[in-house]
Amino acid sequence: MKLAFVISTQPTQFQAIAFDPNFEGNAAHLANLGYDGIELGVREPAKLDAAELKRTLAKYRLAVPALGTGQAFVEEHLAFTDPDAAVRDQAVARVRTHIALAAEFEPKPLVIIGLIRGKTHPTISRAQAHAWMVDALQTLAREGAARGVRFAIEPINRYETDWVNDVAGALTLIDEIGADNVGILYDTFHANIEEPSIEASLRACGARLFHVHLADSNRWYPGAGHTPFANILATLREMRYGGWVSAEILPKPDVKTAAGETFKTIKPLV
Ligand code: LER
Ligand code: MN
């Protein structure tokens, strides 16, 4: 397994994690700690200088395992289940730009589908919104497949979304989408809230486990709460999971301490 740290390429309401306003400063710090990659939260890929980003990542020998899309919902309210067709179209169009950014890298980061699913709206039936979501994801999965890009559906806890809170829900949605390039992003913070058993739910992902987010029970760095990371990483090893684990954590007590402590706890377990 390889270890990454999530940072945002732009300021965001979702607990922006960045050490330095300058991306290169973040890359240098993570590379120096020994991380293998940086997962990027990207609100608007079209506004990024992809060539510059690639140059910096290559300089520090860092890979990009995944691109987050949730800021497009948090900051701009773009969602696959929005009642307004124009907003739904913009959500799909935005993720299309994440696919284009992913296609610039080798290996290609996967595109995360989390909060951009949206939330149930009082004027729209669940069945209707669900149909829109599946339709959006089938379209994007097809377009991603043509460019070698994979997607990861992230179960997210009930306080943030009511579309797909657990692995069982993600597996059902993935079956409906019916595409090989769609899997699961398992986030230990959400799983701690929603899953009856961390180990059983991890195993239930099977070969659909495409990516993992690590955060402790309080969303601080691993080791700061009561999530059993030794067991989780042992389960992943037993499953022969060879992908990435990315720390997606609050910058507490400060981001440098959080990244350093994560590395100390997780690196011996991967
Ligand atoms: C995104 O990966 C995530 O875990 C969400 O909680 C973002 O709010
Ligand atoms: Mn997450």
Could you report the per-residue pLDDT of 12-59, keeping only the tens digit for each?
665 557 767 788 999 999 999 999 999 999 999 999 999 999 999 999
Condensed to tens digits (0 to 9), the pLDDT of residues 204-248 reads 999 999 999 999 999 999 999 999 999 999 999 999 999 999 999
Arithmetic mean of pLDDT, 183-203? 98
The pairing of beta strand 209-214 with beta strand 37-41:
unpaired
Least confident of 7-16, 32-41, 80-89, 110-119: 7-16
Strands (E), 126-199: 151-153, 182-187
Taking the C-alpha atoms of residue 183 and residue 166, their distance in angstroms, rounded to an integer, is 13
Q: Tokens in use for 40? A: 């990027």
Looking at residue 267, the DSSP 8-state letter turns out to be G
Backbone angles phi, psi at 195, to 5 degrees: -90, 135
- Residues in the ligand 1 pocket, defined by CB under 6 Å: 14, 68, 70, 114-115, 154, 156, 160, 187, 213, 248
Taking the C-alpha atoms of residue 35 and residue 90, their distance in angstroms, rounded to an integer, is 34
Sorted by where each begins, the domain ranges of the chain are 2-269
Per the annotation, the verdict on 261 as an active-site residue is no
Instruction: Give the angle subtended at the CA of 112 by the CAs of 263 and 50, to the nearest 5°.
Output: 80
> Could you tell me which CATH class the domain 2-269 is placed in?
alpha beta
Distance from chain centroid for Cα 119: 18
Nearest residue by C-alpha to atom 6 in ligand 1: 156
Is the pLDDT at 249 greater than 90? The verdict is yes
Centre of ligand 1 from the C-alpha of residue 156, in Å: 7
Taking the C-alpha atoms of residue 262 and residue 260, their distance in angstroms, rounded to an integer, is 5
Active-site entry in 39, 154, 194, 261: 154
Q: For the chain, give the percent of residues with pLDDT over 90.
A: 93
Pocket test for ligand 1, best of 154, 164, 188 (most atoms within 8 A of CB): 154
| Location of structure tokens 């306003």 | 21
Q: Write out the H or E segment, with its range, that includes residue 110.
A: strand 110-113
Instruction: Give the angle subtended at the CA of 174 by the CAs of 68 and 4, to the nearest 5°.
Output: 30
Per the annotation, the verdict on 154 as an active-site residue is yes
Taking the CA of residue 114 as reference, the ligand 1 atom at the shortest distance is 1
Nearest residue by C-alpha to atom 5 in ligand 1: 156
Least confident of 2-11, 91-100, 150-159: 2-11
Relative orientation angle of helices 167-177 and 126-146, to the nearest 10 degrees: 70
Cis-peptide into 268, omega within 30 deg: no
Is the pLDDT at 10 greater than 90? The verdict is no
Centre of ligand 2 from the C-alpha of residue 74, in Å: 14
Arithmetic mean of pLDDT, 106-124? 97
